[in-house]
Amino acid sequence: MTRERALKVVLVLVGLLFSAAAYPLLAMHLQEALRMMLSVYATLGIFLLLASRDPSANRSLIAFTAWSSFAHAAVMAVQLFYNLIPRSEAVGVLLLAITGVTLLVLAPGKPSAELASATTAARV
């Protein structure tokens, strides 16, 4: 499996997982902060599904997803350390960290300067 194909599979899986956040949003009575966070993840999931069509054109979205996953994992890790959330939430820290690492490892590289200038010249 090529790197781009693997990235497309990961984008679809993470996109579906994040989009699934819409179900508890609609089906349950949740705290306002949790509702807000789930709405952001559900929206991000839809955009990841769209990005799976052409990952190279969506490098910044992929990077945002990876780094926001690290940020979320870090906040959860601090909350775990101070016993603000249950220990069972450690699985979420691990999954978010794995998501971030996977997306960064598979992320498409920057287009070469030669290719970028050729694209710009073709548009003019």
pLDDT tens sequence across 72-83: 999 999 999 999
With respect to residue 120, please indicate whether it lies within any of the assigned structural domains: no
With respect to residue 114, please indicate whether it lies within any of the assigned structural domains: no
CA atoms within 13 A on the CB side of 55: 22
Q: What residues contact residue 110 under an 8 Å CB cut-off, 6+ apart? A: 59
pTM of the model: 0.85
With respect to residue 121, please indicate whether it lies within any of the assigned structural domains: no
With respect to residue 119, please indicate whether it lies within any of the assigned structural domains: no
d(CA 5, CA 123): 28
With respect to residue 113, please indicate whether it lies within any of the assigned structural domains: no
Domains held by the chain: number: 1
With respect to residue 117, please indicate whether it lies within any of the assigned structural domains: no
With respect to residue 118, please indicate whether it lies within any of the assigned structural domains: no
Give tens-digit pLDDT for 16-25.
Answer: 999 999 988 8
Containing structural domain, residue 12:
3-107
